[in-house]
């Protein structure tokens, strides 16, 4: 219940000139369209066509998206979340396709949204730029390694810091404080820049890569990924929010939802970060997959709220 009075003299015992109004909001199960809160669109914008079935794309849009034949059954979102690989953004050394981000910001605004972004170094299907692999940068695996089909960099190599850092710093110079930019993921090492790898560098190297973002984005909100506790604690202690990337993982032997996330929250002490910075929860697979696996969707959403 809310009690509202427009008369400031009540505290001094004066008689109010207007009657007190009592408001009892009616409970609703509708999705509330609040700025910066709620569901995000991923790699698309409000009203765009959805992916089929339980598929999704790791590649952000590089041009305008075709209008769907009919309006998708998806709630409105105030934030669009898009991310791109380094090889897409900088196919030639020093020639960055900033028009991709410019267009994404414009599209988000056109669809009544703000844009959250991540710049990603590589993953299993999107290698590091060829020019980087041929730059003299150190590689930590070989063609004969178990993961030999993927060129794994030495993240402590000064060339990685130099070239990846140049992309981050220039992105900050161009977009820090942009009115349509909601937030930026701190992306450092490993697949998708999530901060974990089978070739992890020592923490001083990790913190140096995090510092690139702290320097580049002083106005725009930053968000720290969850996987490495020391890095998570470091980033959030410098004002970043946090994100996890497997909401809904309820596997029986070990799960992120039941094991990793509660333990890491306790270990890092990030209980109250949500009071001053955003928390972003990326679904494990897609929600349709939860239904197909027979998972308790209500439990998953309640855990997200808690």
In the DSSP assignment, the letter for residue 16 is P
Buried b (16+ CB within 10 A) or exposed e, 279-299: ebbbbbbbbeebeeeebeeee
Does residue 238 lie in a domain region? yes
CB-CB contact of 183 with 241 (8 Å): yes
Does residue 222 lie in a domain region? yes
Q: What is the pLDDT of residue 92?
A: 98
Does residue 16 lie in a domain region? no
pTM of the model as a whole: 0.89
Residue 181: partners with Cβ closer than 8 Å, 6 or more residues away: 105, 114, 115, 117, 175, 220
**Pick from 238, 278, 232: nearest CA to 40:** 278
Q: How far is CA 204 from CA 156, 207, 293, in A?
A: 9, 5, 41
Does residue 141 lie in a domain region? yes
Q: What is the pLDDT of residue 9?
A: 47
CATH number at residue 178: 3.20.20
**Pick from 291, 202, 190, 192: nearest CA to 245:** 192
Q: Which domain holds residue 105?
A: 30-305
Average pLDDT over residues 227-245: 97
Average pLDDT over all residues of the chain: 93
178 vs 7, residue with greater confidence: 178
Q: What is the pLDDT of residue 47?
A: 95
Does residue 276 lie in a domain region? yes
In the DSSP assignment, the letter for residue 192 is G
- Number of domains the chain is built from: 1
CA 261 – CA 57 distance, rounded (Å): 25
CA 120 – CA 90 distance, rounded (Å): 11
CA 118 – CA 89 distance, rounded (Å): 11
Does residue 171 lie in a domain region? yes
CA 118 – CA 187 distance, rounded (Å): 7
Phi/psi for 174 (5° steps) reads -80, -35
CA 128 – CA 159 distance, rounded (Å): 13
Phi/psi for 118 (5° steps) reads -140, 135
CB-CB contact of 132 with 91 (8 Å): no
Residue 39 predicted with pLDDT over 70: yes
CA 244 – CA 257 distance, rounded (Å): 10
Q: What is the pLDDT of residue 29?
A: 84
- How far out from the chain centre does Cα 15 lie? 52
Place 305 in a pLDDT band, splitting at 50, 70 and 90: confident
pLDDT tens digits, one per residue of 70-107: 989 888 899 999 999 999 999 999 999 999 999 999 99
pLDDT tens digits, one per residue of 144-199: 999 999 999 999 999 999 999 999 999 999 999 999 999 999 999 999 999 999 99
- Here the tokens at position 29 are 């199960």
Q: What is the pLDDT of residue 306?
A: 84
**Other residues' Cβ atoms within 10 Å of the Cβ of residue 64:** 10
Does residue 258 lie in a domain region? yes
For the chain, percent of residues with pLDDT exceeding 70: 95
Does residue 13 lie in a domain region? no
């Amino acid at each position: 219940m809310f009690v509202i009075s427009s008369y400031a003299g009540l505290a001094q015992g004066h008689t109010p000139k207007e009657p007190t109004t009592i408001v009892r909001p009616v409970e609703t199960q509708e999705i509330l369209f609040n700025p910066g809160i709620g569901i995000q669109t991923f790699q698309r914008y409000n009203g765009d066509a959805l992916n089929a079935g339980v598929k999704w794309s790791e590649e952000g849009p590089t041009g305008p998206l075709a209008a769907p034949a009919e309006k998708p059954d998806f709630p409105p979102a105030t934030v669009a979340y898009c991310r791109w690989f380094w090889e897409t953004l900088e196919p030639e050394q020093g020639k960055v396709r900033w028009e991709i981000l410019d267009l994404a910001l414009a599209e988000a605004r056109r669809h009544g949204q703000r844009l959250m972004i991540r710049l990603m170094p590589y993953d299993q299907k999107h290698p590091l730029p060829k020019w980087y692999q041929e730059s003299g940068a150190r590689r930590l695996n070989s063609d004969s390694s178990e993961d030999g089909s993927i060129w794994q960099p030495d993240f402590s190599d000064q060339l990685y810091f130099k070239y990846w850092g140049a992309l981050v710093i220039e992105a900050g110079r161009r977009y820090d404080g942009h009115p349509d930019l909601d937030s930026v993921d701190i992306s450092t090492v490993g697949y998708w820049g999530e901060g974990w790898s089978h070739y992890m560098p020592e923490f001083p190297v990790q913190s140096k890569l995090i510092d690139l973002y702290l320097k580049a984005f002083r106005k725009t909100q930053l968000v720290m990924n969850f996987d490495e506790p020391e890095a998570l604690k470091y980033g959030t202690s410098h004002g970043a929010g946090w994100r996890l990337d497997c909401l809904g993982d309820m596997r029986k032997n070990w799960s992120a939802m039941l094991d990793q996330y509660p333990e890491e929250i306790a270990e890092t002490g990030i209980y109250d970060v949500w009071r001053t910075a955003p928390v972003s929860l990326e679904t494990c697979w897609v929600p349709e997959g939860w239904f197909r696996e027979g998972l308790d969707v209500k439990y998953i959403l309640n855990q997200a709220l808690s």
